[in-house]
Structure 1
């Protein structure tokens, strides 16, 4: 069984989805599935310095990279993919046409994107079964972004791709429901994403407080995601502004990259609320720096409008960090059921009250953190997920054989 995963970008600046596909392919290979990635050298506003048109080892998995074509033209023409953009590559197009038939099955990641659309069309034309991972883009909030362009793209291309797929790969029950609400009848596979077992850092709290010059008795609130209006760090800042006015003791760390204008707006908001001395910006973090934040902070908050899974939330739970999320994070029902965190509506007062609960009660923080760690260990194991995904692939290929 030879599988190809196609995604517009696996650049680290693209965040969770890029990281997830690398981990997914690595886990599949460890389960004995011959799996590769085809992608473009996109990395947000930058490009990856990688060889083109050849299979290389990247982050421990085999990847084919192809050159990104004309960022200016792509932005002007087809920015239907909201955050990813319609990243075009002539070389990828040519390679997919020539090599899709070399694989038993294709899995595409992201809809409303050139690479995934192209792979789906070529797979269909050449009789190769394909699976589509929508990555939350059929959620109601996602469909309102670039709405008219997405409606046109769906009418001309995307609905046909989705309806003719062998399966739609969803990561939560809510995402599967969004697929149905979009009118797609294709069978769904619902499997969560996974998290790698963390390497525990000794004295993480002490190191974090020292590094960011935070008093040792001050609880630290962590936002770790892209600094983007979809993720609503501004809502978190305004909620903390209420608490600061009531003399609550806390420090906020905003970890992630974003557009300079948006970051400037955040800094202005923070200054207007008198939170500048209680806030640190880290920029984009990875590796040990990321683990230091996850293991050294006291509360994790992601008040996102829409999040098909929320890999950073699962990573926080994996190290026992209590989380606060909004219903737009699609694993929120699992978090609520396991009492692994607090799920609250995305309103300023409601979020402020939830943070207050955890600031007041170290015991509640500890219990929620323990429950979250159990949830992550039991449900978000990459090995188990890869085994189940491999079984799903085998079922699809067996079904294809029956119909031959």
Structure 2
């Protein structure tokens, strides 16, 4: 059996998108007969507790914890050493993310041990992501990441858009185009949960960050909310940063009505937020996949998602809108959606749910990734998902 070692900077709940993807990919890999373990810095207390995850998480402490500027890079000599020890019993190293030292360690160790390296950037090479801390990322690339990624046997893109991002960055290694998966998180027999029958909810759930387009959403909402008095806007995301404070200040100073900031939501609270909503919105500037779109769809909610995320099938599948990035396009899409009856929106949501359950099950997604590992180890022809 071939063991795969997954490296990721954080397995904390707050890093929800990447954390969920790594956890479910590892679980499905093990179930399919491929042993897998995770190496990380931040394990959110999950280390060596297989009862919570079904697999081993090896968590190491970062160096220079008293120096904030270095601590953020998650530099860890113990992780590099530990990864090297684990790699002696491994067949593949699969790294998740960029711009931190554990992502560099995966490249160094895979090269030294002669193991195939797979890298999933998880959207970190998108133009929208690269514009934030641009010079720091450029410096990090040339000092550390470039050499560590040079031996990458195959990159992993979650969409055709991310494939283009990888190629635009100048990377020429093979790329496996495999979307993220989704679980059926909706309890049987509970397609909708409404606490206030007289109010309809437009939900945004995610990081409160300019990349996510929250500022655009608030501007558009302030201009159209008077036309839709039975609708409210719920913004669910961590409130512990300067962007969140600026958004709350905008709402107060502009006296924008019916906006609720409800904080970060995980687990049951996250599920209830989707269930209580009538419509989901993600006006993102740049997204490699957009897990919240898949989550909303599998919960039976139609979606308004900007073209910053790769969801053109929202339109062809009849379960949402895919407007251009910008206030005017977002405004038109929201008007078109919010004027529909509850029944029409519910029918659109059910079409989206069926789509997710048919095409995005995690076992199917894992099988495609395992075929890539097998190919890299010389076990068969190139999978159809791999682009040379």
Common fold, TM-score beyond 0.5?
yes
Q: Does 1:62 align with 2:56?
A: yes
Moved more, 91-100 or 181-190: 91-100
Hey, what's the Cα distance between the residues in 2 that align with 1:201 and 1:378?
A: 17
Q: Which runs of 4+ in 1 moved over 6 A?
A: none
Note closer, same or farther for the CA distance 1:116–1:58 as it changes in structure 2 (3 Å cut): farther
Question: Which residues in structure 2 correspond to 1:277-316 (within 5 Å)?
Answer: 278-316=258-296
- Residues in 1 aligned to 2:125 and 2:145: alpha-carbon distance in whole angstroms: 11
* Residues 191-200 or 366-375, more deviating: 366-375
Whole-Å separation in 1 of the counterparts to 2:79 and 2:160: 33
Q: Structure 2: how far apart are the matches of 1:338 and 1:59? A: 34
How do 1:355-370 residues align onto structure 2 when only pairs under 5 Å count? 355-362=334-341, 363-370=343-350
TM-score, length-normalised on structure 1? Answer: 0.87
Q: Residues 8 and 115 of structure 1 are in contact (CA less than 8 Å); yes or no, is this contact kept in structure 2?
A: yes
Match of 2:185?
A: 198
130-139 or 158-167: bigger deviation: 158-167
- Structure 2 counterparts to residues 110-129 of structure 1, below 5 A: 110-129=97-116
Structure 1 residues 262, 150: closer, same or farther in 2, change over 3 A? Answer: closer
- Whether the 8 Å CA contact 2:186–2:298 is kept in 1: the answer is no
Kindly state the Cα deviation for residue 275 of structure 1 after the two structures are TM-superposed: 3.1
Cα deviations by residue, 1:142-171 (Å, 9 ceiling, x for unpaired): 222222222233234333333421100111
1:353 aligns with 2:329: no
Structure 1 pair 120/312, CA: closer, same or farther in 2 (3 Å)?
A: same
Pairing of 1:315-334 with structure 2 (within 5 A):
315-329=295-309, 331-334=310-313
C-alpha contact 1:25 1:36 (8 A) present in aligned 2:
yes
1:234 CA displacement: 2.2
Give the TM-score normalised by structure 2.
Answer: 0.90
Question: Alignment partner for residue 181 of structure 1, among 165, 168, 177?
Answer: 168
Separation (CA, whole Å) in 1 of partners of 2:266 and 2:378 = 40
| Residues 116-158 of structure 1, C-alpha deviations (whole Å, 9 max, x = no match) | 1111111112211110011111111222222222223323433
Q: Using the alignment, how far apart are the partners of 2:253 and 2:231 within structure 1? A: 17
Aligned to 2:154, which of 153, 167, 170? Answer: 167
- Name 2:237's counterpart in structure 1: 256
Task: Give yes or no for contact 2:154–2:173 (8 Å, CA) kept in 1.
Answer: yes
Equivalent in the alignment of 2:360: 380
Matched, 1:244 2:225: yes
Q: Match for 1:143 among 130, 134, 158?
A: 130
Superimposed CA distance per residue, residues 174-222 of structure 1 (whole angstroms, 9 cap, x where no aligned partner): 101111111111001111101111232766755x42xxxx4x2221011
8 Å Cα contact 2:7/2:102 also seen in 1: yes
Q: Measure how far apart 1:357 and its partner are.
A: 1.2
Query: How much is the aligned-residue C-alpha RMSD, in angstroms?
Result: 2.2
Contiguous gaps of at least 5 residues in structure 2 = 381-388
Task: Figure out how many residues of one structure are paired with residues of the other and give that number.
Answer: 378
Is residue 319–residue 351 contact of structure 2 (8 Å, CA) maintained in 1? Answer: yes
